[in-house]
A = this chain, B = another copy of it.
Amino acid sequence: MSSTLPTLTTTSYAILGMVGLRSCTTYELGKAMQRSFDYFWPRARSLVYAEVKRLATLGLLTAHKDFVGRRARTTYTITVEGRAALAAWLNRPPQGFALEMEGLLRIYLANFGTRDDLLQALETMRQEAITMLAIAADFKQGYLTGTAPFMDQVHLRALLNDFLSNFAAFTYEWAVRSLATVSSWSDLDPTGKQAAALETFTHIPPLPDSPLDKPAEK
């Protein structure tokens, strides 16, 4: 025991953890992944197949094969070693986040295109925020009516939903006010737009003035 594992990726732990919550087939896993992780750890369904096999090889999952007609399928269950690996991972500090937003890149480079291009990009982002809000509302519904899976995890899921729904709401509001600003322009020429823009910089939220427990410098 306690041999050092070949380094697993975050995705490995994500999958290991999902199986830990409930034994399931690879297919269910792929589905659940999309339902649950899409907004904070998005991965293609096809990844699951390879990863789950690797985890089984490492002894972190056990595979149970059965048949539907003549077609095989595999159900995976977490092992004691799997739980230990998860616990060890959770004890290490998390990686930083990454945000990829082509829409923002388009703002950065907007002056190579037109005002209408920019409006279009902003509108697309607004639509996405709406989609995300709708999904968050669904989750809310599920938990409030008690029909959501893993009701015993509400206290944790609530933290997540707080983040995700407010992220969506914030994005929505930003898109709306940006659309208003750009709509008020007749083109993307800087002339006459600087003063108002500089003014908005004064509204950006200040640094928190009393860090709760900033770790001591060494």
Q: Is A56 an interface residue (CB 8 A)?
A: no
A162 to B122, CA, bound (A): 13
Residues of B within 8 A of A13 (CB): 105, 109
Q: Is A80 an interface residue (CB 8 A)?
A: no
A204 to B136, CA, bound (A): 8
A42 to B99, CA, bound (A): 8
Residues of B within 8 A of A120 (CB): 93
Residues of B within 8 A of A100 (CB): 40-42, 97-100
Residues of B within 8 A of A126 (CB): 212
Of the listed stretches A57-65, A69-77, A151-159, chain B binds A151-159
Q: Is A197 an interface residue (CB 8 A)?
A: yes
Of A110, A158, A167, A176, the most chain B CB neighbours within 10 A belong to A158
Residues of B within 8 A of A151 (CB): 194
What 0/1 readout, one digit per residue, does chain A (205-218) give for beta carbons within 8 Å of chain B? 11110011111000
Q: Is A104 an interface residue (CB 8 A)?
A: yes
Q: Is A186 an interface residue (CB 8 A)?
A: no
A111 to B155, CA, bound (A): 11
A128 to B98, CA, bound (A): 11
CB distance from A154 to the nearest CB of B (A): 4
Q: Is A6 an interface residue (CB 8 A)?
A: no
Complex A-B: 12 CB contacts under 8 Å: A13-B105, A17-B105, A17-B109, A42-B100, A87-B114, A91-B114, A94-B105, A97-B103, A97-B125, A144-B202, A152-B194, A158-B198
